[in-house]
Amino acid sequence: MNTPPPPFKNPARGEKLDLCIRMRRNRRTEWSRRLVRETALTTNDLIWPIFIIDGEKRREKVGSMPGVERLTIDEAVRAAARAEKLGIPAIALFPNTDPALRDPEGSQAHNPDNLVCRALRALKKEVPDIGVVCDVALDPYTSHGHDGIMRGEEIVNDESVAALVSQSLNQARAGCDVIAPSDMMDGRIGAIRRALDAENFEHVQIMSYAAKYASAFYGPFREAVGSGGLLKGDKRTYQMDPHNSDEAMREVAIDLEEGADMVMVKPGMPYLDIVSRVKREFGVPTYAYQVSGEYSMIMAAAQNGWIDAEKAMIESLVAFKRAGADGVLTYFAPMVAEKLAKAL
Ligand code: PBG
């Protein structure tokens, strides 16, 4: 016996339709899931941070970051060539300076033959088409591990800005494509922009670490660059308080006003709300830094068999895209790029 058709309902008369909305229909098959996907992660979204050391043909494991190594310049050149082949648009350099060369003023930052400048020249000669981003902050060079100049207990602002301007020019002269101030001093973006322009480096871009928080998630990085054991106190008088969000919008607004081409939020995953607000409120190129602690948490859990490293890696990076990031600085960059290349 046929069941009778459902009686006709008129929603205009306030009668409810008998329809069942089934959200799962679109999720049933892989092709359909692909078709309704709202965001995509591609190799164009990746910036690969690389740690460099002095010497030749040497790679050193970073104990706190499984799968990450410090590279001598020749190895960094090979890594950059690999990155370029994989389609990664840019790398970011972080030097591990010989402790004997660190001093209270961070004077190595101004040496045209420091590790970063030598790496820049080699990279620009051998792999000219990959973008090279250089951090601007004094912490790889100071004996106290702070990003600025210390007078007594204080990290003094304006003197630090002058040093950061000099560090930026030093890196631009060696061929740096993107100056990335990570120091959180006030007024540094404008000062750096003016100094770059005055030396005809108007093409050099500035990616500002605009909203950088005083975070526990930088721990493994400080081991990687060798500044962790040196750090006196903490960075809370210049890096942001994790409780704040409106303040991050002011930081971004100021850096844009001063001439930043791109802005960054750091750390990444615990601050996705900030990434999302920045992108929505300013609509400018917005980046997130998936920092060392975020990387190491995933890798450590994976090593214990508690999490699938590859799936967690992709999911974490997709989250940045969903939040609105235009790109992510991530230690997973080469692994992701390899995986994405295979998926094509
Ligand atoms: C230095 C700098 C830090 C990071 C990038 N640049 C550490 C810090 O501010 O102490 C952290 C990156 C990471 O944890 O992966 N100013």
Q: What pLDDT was estimated at residue 5?
A: 66
From 218, 290, 292, give the residue whose CB has the most ligand 1 atoms within 8 Å, as the site to mutate.
218
Q: What pLDDT was estimated at residue 7?
A: 64
How many Å lie between the centroid of ligand 1 and the Cα of residue 218?
Answer: 6
How many Å lie between the centroid of ligand 1 and the Cα of residue 252?
Answer: 18
Q: What is the DSSP string of 54-109?
A: SSSS-EEE-TTSTT-EEEEHHHHHHHHHHHHHHT--EEEEEE---GGG-BTT-GGG
In degrees rounded to 5, what are phi and psi of residue 291? Answer: -80, 175
Active site residue 342: no
**Marked catalytic residue, from 212, 235, 279, 321:** 212
Q: What pLDDT was estimated at residue 19?
A: 76
Active site residue 266: yes
Global confidence as pTM: 0.94
Relative to the CA of 137, which ligand 1 atom is closest?
A: 16
**Marked catalytic residue, from 57, 235, 266, 311:** 266
What is the residue with the minimal CA distance to atom 12 of ligand 1? 291
How many Å lie between the centroid of ligand 1 and the Cα of residue 305?
Answer: 28
Q: Which residue has the tokens 């526990």?
A: 216
The answer to whether the CB of 332 is under 6 A from ligand 1 is no
Q: What pLDDT was estimated at residue 268?
A: 98
Q: What pLDDT was estimated at residue 6?
A: 61
Relative to the CA of 291, which ligand 1 atom is closest?
A: 15
The answer to whether the CB of 291 is under 6 A from ligand 1 is yes
Q: What pLDDT was estimated at residue 343?
A: 82
The answer to whether the CB of 292 is under 6 A from ligand 1 is yes
Q: Which residues pair with 149 in a beta bridge?
A: 156
Strands 59-61 and 69-72: antiparallel
What is the residue with the minimal CA distance to atom 14 of ligand 1? 218
How many Å lie between the centroid of ligand 1 and the Cα of residue 31?
Answer: 40
The answer to whether the CB of 221 is under 6 A from ligand 1 is yes
Q: What pLDDT was estimated at residue 330?
A: 98
| 10-residue averages of pLDDT along the chain (344 residues) | 67 76 94 97 98 97 97 98 98 97 97 98 98 98 97 97 98 98 98 98 98 97 90 95 98 98 98 98 98 98 98 98 98 97 82
Are the beta carbons of 204 and 124 closer than 8 angstroms? no
Relative to the CA of 140, which ligand 1 atom is closest?
A: 1
Domains of the chain: 40-343 (3.20.20.70)
Relative to the CA of 295, which ligand 1 atom is closest?
A: 15
The rounded distance, in Å, linking the Cα atoms of 342 and 344 is 5
How many Å lie between the centroid of ligand 1 and the Cα of residue 33?
Answer: 37
Q: What pLDDT was estimated at residue 89?
A: 98
